[in-house]
Structure 1
């Protein structure tokens, strides 16, 4: 009987170990939260399939196995993939959508509670101040001036490492009206590089996590890796976080209280409402510059399950809940944006 119990217990332990989620993504970069069971993740692995290509005129990436790469933009000049893992944005106003709800896609995914990770390189000093590494979540596929769509379906939370060197979160209910916030408050855009613009020829990592904290509140967390040069598992530092409970952060022009012209279409009127669902699409965009991206991954997460990180990775507790459950147990190291060891804050 004892031998039988040992065998059963051993099988149980084996099962737990076998099904534990890997703490890093397909590229080797640290995950912060576990992937939601049954969900489908998108990665840019197919950018490294040896097939150099350009897809333009609003055509899609023919090599995306999920067929979620939705090419949009101002002029349709598109995107250039080198076949070795790097994509370059082209044209005046590129808009790269990751849309897991296309009717012809072999698998589908609505992105709600999301962990986005990517590396970005700015290669020229041109570009709008508000351009740069700009990523939106919960967006509507046809809500940004697209033919056949309605601008009242924009419903996006953006994170921006801006060309002018500042960072912010931007909330947009109806395109193109929006309002922003940063670490110092609503209507603020904090400097990220000591007053200097976004650096050139440097791989900069962004980890952007957005999830519903409860039935009325959305939490946004933004991290940066500016020192590893896109070397796994990354060296992540918290840039800032925010919570939108529908009380004080408008998603309309200049912080207006009302959304104009949407009430009769979809009932939207209160610009302070939190975007609790949105449209499930991810957007990568910029304006009048042509940056590079690599190591992109998008996962639907379970925000109640933070992943234990390697103690050599410089991360901060993502939330009080995460700190109590996992991260406070680690020997976490802290670095500033130039890679210098910093005091624990």
Structure 2
């Protein structure tokens, strides 16, 4: 076979074998793109009922709903426009969603709608009018909004409310009985914010504004969040969090004692209610795309994540969260951890960079990670040798969206923690895996237990790694492996190499006067540029590698000209005197023979011995050696061996 054909054949096989898997669609992007039935972005996962109103008729229910009807109350009217919108008019316009007989009431929920003001009032007129002019949603409430009702009815009027006041404020309000309530101006003993001026000139007229109120329980507290979207719903909306408030007992008090209900004035409203109320006051408002969804209602106490309560890895997840090492899966809201979802390579980089406190080294070694939110983390773990790339031998790609298998994860941990050698084969299903050695070291370190409890004689090397599993791996590794074994910054003397050698956060900060030694001491990019005539002082002034080679006849000048160790031993016999002006032998360190290392040859030989230290990577100090083991390409040798043998026979 001609050599050109052989070369082409081999190159084609290499290209196929080394090509990374086709990356799937980004799971993080899929989460960020989760939409309701109107195409509006959802911030929290749905856990129960969903109610929608598309305003094609006055009373609209979503598929499968059984929460009752939508109706009007007050002296206003609701006019169906016919284009999926409705116009509400009147000074006490309210829309109740719910049913008093419904056994499952509204508790933790995410409520969304778009509203457009149709009035012609100026901001000054709004400020002079009723303080509650705007749009509001009230949750966890009942049909008790009547000051003349019975005690039981008025106690049902308890509610948390979120509002956009048309003069410019976003605010929360709370009441335990109607009409005793704590508006946004009420004192908060913990200093939390329940009001914010977000439209200094007032809410714009004839403009669709997205309104989103989120209320959910955590043990001993209730979390309130208020968002807006100014894009009119484009691409699901660009939701901006305006206020977030955590109500706890004793934190947000009611001005007047609610004697009818017999409740403390500072209690939280943890009970669900039969109704959600959407209302507007004194102005004409147009509505569209109204959705109420029940969301995950049992997050773990003290955690920012609402979806980890049922995970078997909740302990490890909370442990990493306490260290600040978690990577959420729904940025920028950062309320989901997605413990059961498979990991992507860039997410793994983010977890390791946080857990090992790695800093980005600078540079850009991969050409396919520029759009990843974790590009700096990718560069950091590559600098430390935890990952080398996904397209060997070039390794100029990282494949940030590619999934990660359990076998690959074992290799990541083996490189990151320099795991000790294993003494036995721990699993029965990894014998053909190129990661077998790393898997056994992972098991020997008790970082993994196996994938088939209680037997645990299998590792499942080809299965994807979930985010919860990685949390468990990291917790065990960080607790059991000494920190000195991790990829950390190992301090050494700072030299001019564009790296932070002494791990103080600064680069090349210890520039000094240039001396001969083959290094750039003054960090100007030039080496040994300050060569000068040789003198007898034990220093290579002319940078030729020899010391004191240019001996001269001794003269009376306070210098050892002939380099015999004696000064002026002959030349000054006639009574001459050495100079006294602080010349080359000035004892105060101003000359070239300073002994404190300021301008002389460095005692630590920072550049010369750096490569002799087997625990320091050639890339510079930022990382300790990971002990990564090169894996021979046995399959490639097997492919090329017959070709070589065939050529040998021809000879």
Q: TM-score scaled to structure 2, two decimals?
A: 0.38
Aligned to 2:105: 110
Deviation at 1:207, TM superposition (A): 1.5
Aligned to 1:192: 198
Aligned to 2:74: 74
Deviation at 1:200, TM superposition (A): 0.6
Checking the alignment, whether the CA contact within 8 Å between 1:117 and 1:208 is kept in structure 2 is yes
Aligned to 1:293: 287
SS of match in other structure, 2:171: strand
SS of match in other structure, 1:151: helix
Deviation at 1:181, TM superposition (A): 3.9
Q: Which runs of 5+ in 2 are unaligned?
A: 1-30, 298-305, 309-327, 342-346, 351-371, 375-651
The 5 A counterparts of 1:218-237 are: 218-226=222-230, 228-237=231-240
- Change in Cα spacing, 1:91 to 1:308, as seen in structure 2 (3 Å) is same
SS of match in other structure, 1:170: strand
- Change in Cα spacing, 1:44 to 1:163, as seen in structure 2 (3 Å) is same
Aligned to 1:13: none
Rounded Cα–Cα distance in structure 1 between residues aligned with 2:338 and 2:97 = 33
Deviation at 1:331, TM superposition (A): 4.0
Aligned to 2:162: 159
Rounded Cα–Cα distance in structure 2 between residues aligned with 1:121 and 1:89 = 10
Rounded Cα–Cα distance in structure 2 between residues aligned with 1:40 and 1:202 = 30
Structure with max Cα Rg: 2
Q: TM-score scaled to structure 1, two decimals?
A: 0.70
Aligned to 1:121: 116
Aligned to 1:54: none
Number of residue equivalences: 274
Deviation string, structure 1 residues 11-45 (Cα, Å, up to 9, x no partner): xxxxxxxxx99821001111111111xx3210013
Aligned to 1:55: none
Deviation at 1:71, TM superposition (A): 2.8
SS of match in other structure, 1:95: strand
- Change in Cα spacing, 1:308 to 1:120, as seen in structure 2 (3 Å) is farther
Rounded Cα–Cα distance in structure 1 between residues aligned with 2:373 and 2:182 = 38
Deviation at 1:70, TM superposition (A): 4.0
- Change in Cα spacing, 1:297 to 1:152, as seen in structure 2 (3 Å) is same
- Change in Cα spacing, 1:280 to 1:185, as seen in structure 2 (3 Å) is farther
Rounded Cα–Cα distance in structure 2 between residues aligned with 1:120 and 1:295 = 9
Checking the alignment, whether the CA contact within 8 Å between 1:155 and 1:278 is kept in structure 2 is no
Richer in strand (by share): 1
Residue 316 (1) aligns with residue 333 (2): yes
Deviation at 1:302, TM superposition (A): 0.9
Greater relative contact order (Cα 8 A, min sep 6): structure 1 or 2? 1
Rounded Cα–Cα distance in structure 1 between residues aligned with 2:42 and 2:249 = 28
Rounded Cα–Cα distance in structure 2 between residues aligned with 1:63 and 1:30 = 21
Q: 2:144 aligns with which of 135, 142, 145?
A: 142
Richer in helix (by share): 2
Residue 273 (1) aligns with residue 267 (2): yes
Q: 2:217 aligns with which of 198, 212, 218?
A: 212
- Change in Cα spacing, 1:278 to 1:89, as seen in structure 2 (3 Å) is same
Rounded Cα–Cα distance in structure 2 between residues aligned with 1:235 and 1:22 = 11
Deviation string, structure 1 residues 117-158 (Cα, Å, up to 9, x no partner): 111111114463312121111111234458677212111000
Structural RMSD (CA) = 3.3
Deviation at 1:188, TM superposition (A): 5.9
- Change in Cα spacing, 1:285 to 1:144, as seen in structure 2 (3 Å) is farther
Rounded Cα–Cα distance in structure 2 between residues aligned with 1:62 and 1:203 = 22
Deviation at 1:87, TM superposition (A): 1.5
Aligned to 2:260: 261
Rounded Cα–Cα distance in structure 2 between residues aligned with 1:331 and 1:125 = 44
Aligned to 1:130: 132
Q: Which runs of 5+ in 1 are unaligned?
A: 1-19, 52-60, 333-345
Checking the alignment, whether the CA contact within 8 Å between 2:60 and 2:70 is kept in structure 1 is no
Rounded Cα–Cα distance in structure 2 between residues aligned with 1:223 and 1:120 = 13
Deviation at 1:72, TM superposition (A): 4.0
Rounded Cα–Cα distance in structure 2 between residues aligned with 1:146 and 1:202 = 38
Deviation at 1:260, TM superposition (A): 3.0
Rounded Cα–Cα distance in structure 1 between residues aligned with 2:279 and 2:192 = 23
